[in-house]
Amino acid sequence: MTSSAKRQPTWLGKTLAGAILGLALSFIFVAFFAWYGPGGIDARDKVQFNMWMITPVWLTIFSFSYLFNSAKQAWLVLGGLTVLLYGVFFMLRNAL
């Protein structure tokens, strides 16, 4: 492996990216399920299920944030995905 292909031990940057952007991503993943999943937003007991699903989704994203090669890559990928998904969500909400 070349030195540019190695994972850099930038723990603080990866941790912050996973914590902040991972939480935002978990909110939007659960929002997609809440609004467009079975039964829509008004399904019985779906609110409680959605609330409890945020933590496992967030911790999964958070743990995988350490697999990025650098903190910059983690911020760019997670941030880009967050902006993209929130944009798609709000476009769908306004269109329907």
Q: Which pLDDT does position 5 carry in this prediction?
A: 67
> Which value, to the nearest 10 degrees, does the dihedral of the CA atoms of residues 85, 50, 23, 56 take?
-120
Which tokens hold the place of 57?
A: 């989704």
User: Secondary structure of 44-81 in the HEC alphabet?
Assistant: CCHHHHHHHHHHHHHHHHHHHHHHCCCHHHHHHHHHHH
Determine the Cα–Cα distance for residues 85 and 92; give it in Å rounded to an integer. 10
Residue spans per domain, the chain: 10-95
**Residue found by looking up tokens 């996973």 in the block:** 18
Q: Residue 15, exposed/middle/buried by CB under 10 A (0-12, 13-18, 19+)? A: middle
Q: What is the pTM of this model?
A: 0.85
Q: Which pLDDT does position 74 carry in this prediction?
A: 96
Q: Which pLDDT does position 96 carry in this prediction?
A: 67
**pLDDT tens-digit profile of 4-60?**
567 778 899 999 999 999 999 999 999 999 999 988 888 888 889 999 999 999 999
